Structures are given as C-alpha cells and as structure tokens.
Amino acid sequence: MLTRRRFLGRGLGALAVGILGGRGFAPRLGAGAKVPGIGDSDVALWRSRPFRPLSGPFESTMVGGYPFSKKWTGDGFDDGAIPFHSCHNCFDENGPPAPTEEIDIAVVGGGLSGLMTAYRLRDHRPVLFEMRDRFGGAAQGEQWDGVSYSLGNAYIITPDEGSFLAELYQKLGLDRVVRVHDQKDFIELNGAILDDFWDGLSEDDRLAFERYAEIVTYMGEEEYPEIPLPEGKDNQWILDLDRKTFKQDVEERMGMPIPRLLAMAIQSYFYSSFNAGWEEVSAASGWNFVAAEEFGKWVFPGGTGYMSDAMWRKLARMERLHGDPNHPRFLRGGTMVIDVRMAAGDRVQVTYIDTDGELRSLLAKRAVICCSKRVAKMMMRDLGTLDPEKREAIDDIVHRGYIVANVLLHHPIDPDYYDVFLLGAGDLAMTGADFEVDSRVVDMLNGGYARVSATSGHALTLYWPLPFATSRVSLVRATAWQDYTRALVPQLTRMLGILGIDKQAVQQVRMTRWGHAMPLASPNLIADGTAELLRRPIDGKIFFVNQDNWALPAVENCLLDAEIFAPQITEGL
C-alpha cells in the first residue's frame, strides 16, 4: 500500500531535545536547464513553465523603505475579477457550446496534483488545463541571480528506499538535486536564533520537552497513522485518533503539564504547516505530519517548484514530440475550465475559455478534477444531482488563505540554516482569533538552502499563515496588498536585524498570496467518511485528485492519490 510513512525525518521532536544529524548532498543541475526538443521560439509553451526567470532591474514600489514588487504573485488576478466569484457557467437555454474535440482524458487544474495526474497518464496523451499562465499551482518557483526559491510548498519528506515515491523521484531526477535536511530546526526567541533554548529551562520544563520528544519518536516508529488509509488493514485506531484534536492527544500522552514555550513551539509549527492551531487539527492528521518529519526532509532548488517543473518538462517534451500542430496542444496554460458535466454517450463535456477569450467545449472519456473542491463545486453545477453526498461533503471542507513572501538579497544568509520558527518575545498568539489581531510571519526559511552553486543572489522565504475564518476575505479586499506589505515592514526589519543583514541588501520583496491553498484537517473528517466522499469518483467517468481529498496539505497526498486512481481512470480506454 502506498503511504506517506517511512519517509521519516527529524523535525520538531528533534528541536525539543536538540538532536543533531548529518547533511546529505548530491550533484545538482540548474533549475533553468534547457528542455531538449523545445525551441526558444515556442514562447507560449515556455511561458507556461512553473519556474519563472527574473532579471533586473526590478520595477518596485517603496513601502517603509523596502522595494516591493508592485502586485501579488500566486493568485495575482485583479481584485475585481476573482475566478468563480461570479457565475461563469450560467449558460442560456442553449447550454454550453457544442464540442469541437474528442479526447481520452481531460485533467482540470495544472497544479502539482494535475501535473502528477497528467504525468502518470501520459501514455494516453491527456489534455491538461490550467487557468493561470503558468503551471504548478502552489508548487511554483522563481529564479533570480542564480538562486531558485519557492512561491509556495517548501519540501517533501524523505522517501523510503524502493517505495513508489522513491522511484518516482528518481525518474524525475529529484535525487540528483536534493539537499537532505536531517538536523534539528531552529527557533527564534527574543531576537536570537537558538538551537539550545532548552538549556535555560527549569527541570520540570526540561522533562516536559523530553517527554514530548519521546512521544514523537514513538509515533514515528511504532504507531504512525498512515494517510491515505492502508487498504486491507484494521484502521479503527486511526479513525479513533482522528476523532480528537492533536492538542487533546498530546495532553493525554504527556501525563504532565505542557509548558508555554513547548506549546508555542508546537503551535508555530502547526500554523506554518496546517494554517491552523493544534487545537483545530485532527490528531491523526497532525501525527501524520509531525512524526513523518522526524526522519528527514528533501529540499530542492525552488522547493516543490522543482518537482512540478520536472513533471512539466517531461510533459513538454511529449508536446513537442507527439503534438499535432494543426490541433490545440496538450498543455493548455491560460485556459480556464468553467464547466464540467456528464454528456451523452458516456462522455464528459468540458467547457473552457481559451487563450483568445473564446468559449469552447470538448468531449472526454474521463475527466480528472485536480483543483480545489471549492472551485470544483462551482464548475460542476449539477454535482448536487450527480452525487449529493459529495456535494454536501465539499461544503464541510474549510479552506484558508496563506501568504509567502520572498526577500531577494545581495547578502549571504548565515548561519547556513534551513528553517527557523519565530516565537518573538514568547508572545505568539495561541488561538486563531488572537492571531487575526496579531497576524505575523511564523516561519523563516533559507530559500536558497539547496542552491546549485555559489551565487550572488540569496532568498529569504517567509511563511505567513492566516489561521482564522476571515483569511480568504482579507486577501481579496481592495487594500489587501497595501495592508499586508505595511504589516510586513516592521517584521522584516526585525528579521534582517536578527540575521545581521542591512536593509540596503534587499533588492526586492515579492508577495505571493494563495486564496484557498490550505484545507483545514479538522477532527472527524476521515472518521466520519467525509474524506472518502471527497475522493469518490462519479460514474467511473469523473475523478478527483487533490491534496484536499484528505483535507491534508501534504504534497505526498497529491502524488499518492494520482497513483491510486490511475488504474481506475484508464480502465476501458
């Protein structure tokens, strides 16, 4: 059975006891390497690549003395033209336009889930739709002055030798560019980056940290909750675990009071990883993350943007080798699917707006919906009739917004750390309501940690979760960019001061917003069957592959569900 387990590494539990590990390196290839068989003249195809090369001088606007890019990346649409916030598929009595193509497989959504699905099904030459100009979704990256950095997802978990994921990563060449992070994470407290903050603890607090580390190790080695649930096994204990919160489970296992510093360290991790507090997240989902990271992270140039780019390069070669110049291409960036419905002859009709703004339709034998369920329910207006239980389950999923800021520097980041959780003055807000009032960056990464070679460019990647109910609204209001850039300025000044970097070294700050990138892994969503309803295909014709299948923001779940459903998708083709 395919699982996320056995890709374990040292994370917050190691932080708690200060375990040090070695560092792994492998030969690296530049993320900007040319794709054999694709000419520079194919501008439209090149522009759809998940990695975007940047060159100076930048066009910036000054905010608080810092040069900011003038608009959002990620969900960079104009605030008055938010996709699916109006009815794009309210057709007249004639319905959508008549289909002009027939294909085997349509894949809707060109993020990591869609790229993986199309890559896995590439022998059937699927058509992959992405409404943005660039593929990759939250797994996009940028390159500047020799450094590659992520606009979203940061890393993956170290795969078990011989597993499906290990073989996949090898085929994509990820093992040749990886830098393995298997040492403890740092924290920042009172303006200092510490790796030994527990040395100043009282005896009772030290015992609590050690006890938590023991629990993390136990969950990683003895009682790991595998998600997706393993087939053919008694998973009742995982379902029972899913019925309570991570905080409840930790409190039960600790057998002693949890000191505030430990609670804040755990909470900062949950804010960063789940966009939610440990009191909101299912214990099963929480341990699936926390324990998995106890045995290593794989970091690439540009984070998981390198992975999506590797898949794109494979598919782009197929485009050049097998595409018909007289027909629309397989990779269709900048094409927004607005309607998916069952059609006569056991076909699925997919209607989309092409790059020229024209409304078009095609017929597919199978359709795979790889976008957020929040979007899927709007493009499938008859979903309530086709599968009312699924439609109801989708309404149970909460999505929250998230911000990633990249600070481009002409100054090295020292020490050569990967990840620092920011606790400030020990005043981290411990509830979503309080965090909304005191919203801040909680995680500071060295964006060039897996750099290919010495470069003059460096990137500080800042993760700014929004773990509160109004997060999505806060990102689309008219003043959102101004509000968040101004709020970042004092935080950035503080972080640069901690790192000993002069603000004059900042070449640009680039703000990326993701409106519904993070599903909330609430208790009971697996135990009450909601996850299975979210994943359930419709009539063996319409399938669903996305990280929110399990309401779990894990890259591996995108990959695993694509592999799990592939035989069902291709059956009978």
pLDDT tens-digit map of 501-535: 999 999 999 999 998 879 999 999 999 999 999 99
How far CA 553 is from CA of 140, 172, 529, in Å, comes to: 16, 22, 18
CA distance linking residue 319 with residue 330, whole number of Å = 6
Of residues 260, 244, 247, 246, the one with CA closest to residue 208: 260
Options 3.30.70.260, 3.60.15.10, 3.50.50.60, 3.40.50.970; CATH of 43-179+300-570: 3.50.50.60
Residue 87 is predicted with a pLDDT of 79
What is the rounded radius of gyration, in angstroms, for the C-alpha atoms of the chain?
23
Residue 318 is predicted with a pLDDT of 85
Query: Each residue of 458-467: pLDDT tens digit?
Result: 999 999 999 9
CA distance linking residue 524 with residue 107, whole number of Å = 30
Confidence class for position 298, pLDDT limits 50, 70, 90: very high
For residues 403 and 512, the answer to whether their CB atoms sit within 8 Å is: yes
Q: Where do we find the tokens 């990779």?
A: 331
For residues 209 and 15, the answer to whether their CB atoms sit within 8 Å is: no
Domain range list for the chain: 43-179+300-570
Pairing of strands 419-422, 186-189: parallel
Any long-range contacts for 547-551 (C-beta under 8 Å, 24+ apart)? 547/113, 547/519, 548/372, 548/373, 548/397, 548/399, 548/519, 550/227, 550/228, 550/285, 550/521, 550/525, 550/526, 551/285, 551/397, 551/519, 551/520, 551/521, 551/522, 551/525
Helix axes 112-120, 555-570, angle to 10 degrees: 40
Query: Each residue of 174-204: pLDDT tens digit?
Result: 999 999 988 777 889 999 888 766 666 788 8
Query: Each residue of 214-227: pLDDT tens digit?
Result: 999 999 999 999 99
- Among residues of the chain, what percentage have pLDDT more than 90? 74
Residue 436 is predicted with a pLDDT of 96
Q: Which residue has the higher pLDDT, 365 or 193?
A: 365
Confidence class for position 9, pLDDT limits 50, 70, 90: very low
Helix axes 555-570, 164-171, angle to 10 degrees: 90
Residue 260 is predicted with a pLDDT of 92
- Averaged pLDDT, 318-338: 81
For residues 396 and 530, the answer to whether their CB atoms sit within 8 Å is: yes
**Rounded (5°) CA angle 260-440-293:** 60
How far CA 450 is from CA of 23, 30, 153, 179, 275, in Å, comes to: 11, 11, 14, 5, 25
CA distance linking residue 558 with residue 228, whole number of Å = 10
Mean pLDDT, the chain, integer: 88
Task: Find which of 88-97, 277-286, 312-321 is predicted with most confidence, using mean pLDDT.
Answer: 277-286
**Residue 53, beta-bridge partner list:** 143
Residue 198 is predicted with a pLDDT of 64
Residue 4 is predicted with a pLDDT of 39
Identify the weakest region by mean pLDDT among 245-254, 289-298, 367-376: 289-298
Helix axes 260-274, 203-221, angle to 10 degrees: 40
CA distance linking residue 108 with residue 120, whole number of Å = 15
> What is the amino acid identity at position 318?
M
Bond prior to 228 in cis (omega within 30° of 0) = yes
245: which residues sit within 8 A by CB, 6+ positions away? 278, 279, 280, 281, 282, 283, 286, 523
